[in-house]
A and B are shown apart, each in its own frame.
Chain A
């Protein structure tokens, strides 16, 4: 990806450092040269005193720097970049408040296992520990939310630390790594040798285990299961195991349910696809899991959003858990067979032991699920009469239709996120980018900026609620400065919608601190030099979407949707997967909570 809008005149400055092996460079130059060697073409950051030497050296290198408006945005951009591209994202910030502003973004990447490297400036090593200006112990602060972190106090340690950071970030279960570089290390001189800085190969986790007996045991369980379900998670995308999961599903006629982060790993339009499971999964998915006799968990960790109360989770099912992180095995759910290793490799070892089921005789199990899908479809909000209100679900559905399901959609957190998961059908991996594990509001806009920069030729949509959008709205300036063709949909209901929903269901409609006054988002966009439009009726949705797509540059659509709408089904915290609250007001309603 060529750097855009680099003001450098490279004929004048030094050649990029990869050509100057063996010479003495400053720690800052070594940093950029090492990043370049690691294949980094863009970083997201914000300068400051303790990292000025690094910024000063950048002009000598062909790396694009995207200036953000808040370091949290930089971390989310690196995250969105990594999720969209599969590469390691890079964020840069100064010491003190710059570093602490990254923490939310780092924790977001940690909980969703996304590989990013965050580089922070630090005060000179001579004054470390003296409460110097803008000094903060960022390595101490980020200990629990990074895979690993480093402090570099000497220029000669920069190259090998950065190279090791990249290796750690992408090895095994990916995750964020922080490298804190003191100012004197940035300014000191050292020999630079990229090849010599290569880290030792990453030691695989000693508890990985996919011996042939486990493979055979798993194959036996799969062959003999009458009601199997595949649970596809984020690991399918990260391992690139989509083809293997599809082969397994098609060969053995096994339906596939997905976690939020697994959406797109198995095509939503495939007849065997069940869609998202869990707290806001559709009824047929959760019923299938509760009735299953075998669960094949592929790259997922049985998060509480997915399982409901563990005591009654999938009571009749044996579980095969295929997972690269040994610490996840038997953490929440006891596995009958555990294949602890890379998902793609495990499935490739497993498939030869599975002879195909007769595809012509559709299994009773698949028919049973098809039937329950049919029953649930009558509740589908899409089939409800258009009462003149604009529903967020309609917006998602129309967006999906208009983009043919092919856009990269980056959501924020809340009700809109769940409606997107329910109504936008993703067929390709890395097309839904969303904060699942940490559930970070404000994620969408910066992450979408990162995704668009990673995939400039793809259509990218931000879908955010009015609450989350306001948290990082300042990054509209970044989108404008970088001239990104970004489509931004704000699902505006005047509330912190998911909070309001919980208050409606569990706190007797005590809407404490959930009604939210927002700016006029179209005027806000205009203040940033960005075009936009407001939409109040269903008939206006498609024309606005088409205008956003046609428009060059960022475009904001303020969708003023039904204020008090709730995401259904919903499994209350502490309830079982089959105890879901169903949408009550359908004209063809069965009573709520039927099984």
Chain B
């Protein structure tokens, strides 16, 4: 089963290694890992997708918290969230064949960001299934995919999100986690969630 963890970590040299080394030590395969700045100075945000048994989430989170540079772990799991990934796909296309690719790109609401005599580059964001869908269709279409670069999954919980760290910083107006759980059933989110099932 795939677990998705959002880790808020100190923005210091070597923290990435510590986190990655922990997964290796636990003999857990990292499927994707993306890291960048968060909304807070000196705090980085890592999103780690890993392959582990359904009950392993507690142990992974507990082990991550033992690392001195880790501030907060969120096992996103089944909670309501938005997941996105970005991919750049380079496809071989001549002026004769490129219009077919244009049509596919239109259907997937992706964009062409580079056009060259022998190739073009597609930029696409969305859930993984959307990106994999485009890749599959390009392959079925006989278009030669020259290169793919993917960022890996990024996630963010829907609605207002409290964490211990934010509470410690006393951000005003945030509900407690118990109240928050009730909020996650709000129907406004349902409308937006329609976006996730299709494209």
Contacts and interface: CB of A to CB of B under 8 A. Distances in A.
Nearest to A172: B66
Contacts of A143: 17-18, 21
A144 B65 contact: no
A327 B63 contact: yes
A206 B66 contact: no
Nearest to A145: B25
A327 B59 contact: yes
Best-buried of B17, B58, B67 by chain A (most CB within 10 Å) = B58
Interface string A307-329: 00000000000000000011101
B178 interface: no
Contacts of B73: 206
Contacts of A139: 14
B126 to A, nearest CB: 33
B68 A148 contact: yes
A207 B65 contact: yes
B10 to A, nearest CB: 12
Contacts of B58: 207, 326, 329-330
A285 B72 CA distance: 42
Interface in B65-87: 65-68, 72-73
Interface in A148-192: 148, 168, 173
A140 interface: yes
**Of listed B17, B25, B59, residue having the most chain A CB within 10 A:** B59
Interface in A334-354: none
Contacts of B164: 206
A331 interface: yes
Contacts, number: 39
Interface residues of A, number: 17
Interface bracket on B: 10 to 19
Contacts of A325: 62, 66
Nearest to A144: B25
A214 B59 CA distance: 19
A168 B69 CA distance: 12
Interface string B13-27: 010011001000100
Contacts of A168: 68
B35 interface: no
A327 B72 CA distance: 15
Given A168-B68, A327-B59, 9 more contacts: A144-B21, A144-B25, A147-B68, A205-B66, A207-B58, A325-B66, A327-B66, A329-B62, A331-B59
Contacts of A207: 58, 61-62, 65
A205 B68 CA distance: 10
A143 B13 CA distance: 13
Interface of A: 139-140, 143-144, 147-148, 168, 173, 205-207, 325-327, 329-331
B187 interface: no
Interface string B22-50: 00010000000000000000000000000
A326 B66 CA distance: 9
14 contacts: A144-B21, A144-B25, A148-B67, A148-B68, A168-B68, A173-B66, A205-B62, A206-B65, A206-B72, A206-B73, A207-B61, A207-B65, A326-B65, A329-B62
Contacts of A205: 62, 65-66
B198 to A, nearest CB: 37
Contact of A140 (B17, B25, B66): B17
Contacts of A326: 58, 62, 65
A331 B63 CA distance: 11
Contacts of B63: 327
A329 to B, nearest CB: 7
Interface string B136-179: 00000000000000000000000000001000000000000000
A143 B66 CA distance: 13
Contacts of A147: 66, 68
A329 B67 CA distance: 17
A139 B164 CA distance: 30
10 pairs of A and B residues whose beta carbons are closest in the complex = A327-B62, A326-B62, A148-B68, A327-B63, A143-B21, A144-B25, A207-B62, A205-B65, A206-B65, A327-B59
Contacts of B59: 327, 330-331
Contacts of B14: 139
Contacts of A206: 65, 72-73, 164
Contacts of A173: 66
A168 B72 CA distance: 18
A172 to B, nearest CB: 8
Given A144-B25, A206-B164, A330 B55 contact: yes
Nearest to A328: B62
Interface in B60-117: 61-63, 65-68, 72-73
A139 B17 CA distance: 11
Contacts of B55: 330
Question: By CB atoms of chain B within 10 A, which of A143, A173, A330 has the most?
Answer: A143
A160 to B, nearest CB: 14
Contacts of A330: 55, 58-59
B67 to A, nearest CB: 8
A153 to B, nearest CB: 11
A580 B192 CA distance: 61
A327 B26 CA distance: 11
A403 B29 CA distance: 52
Of listed B62, B65, B72, residue having the most chain A CB within 10 A: B62
Contacts of B61: 207
Contacts of B65: 205-207, 326
Contacts of A140: 17
A177 to B, nearest CB: 9
Nearest to B24: A144
A326 B67 CA distance: 13
A140 B17 CA distance: 9
A346 to B, nearest CB: 17
Nearest to B58: A330
A329 B65 CA distance: 14
A330 B17 CA distance: 26
A206 B163 CA distance: 11
Which of B58, B66, B67, B164 has most chain A Cβ within 10 Å?
B66
Which of A140, A144, A206 neighbours the largest number of chain B CB atoms within 10 Å of its CB? A206
A148 B21 CA distance: 13
A144 B26 CA distance: 10
Nearest to B22: A144
A205 B66 CA distance: 7
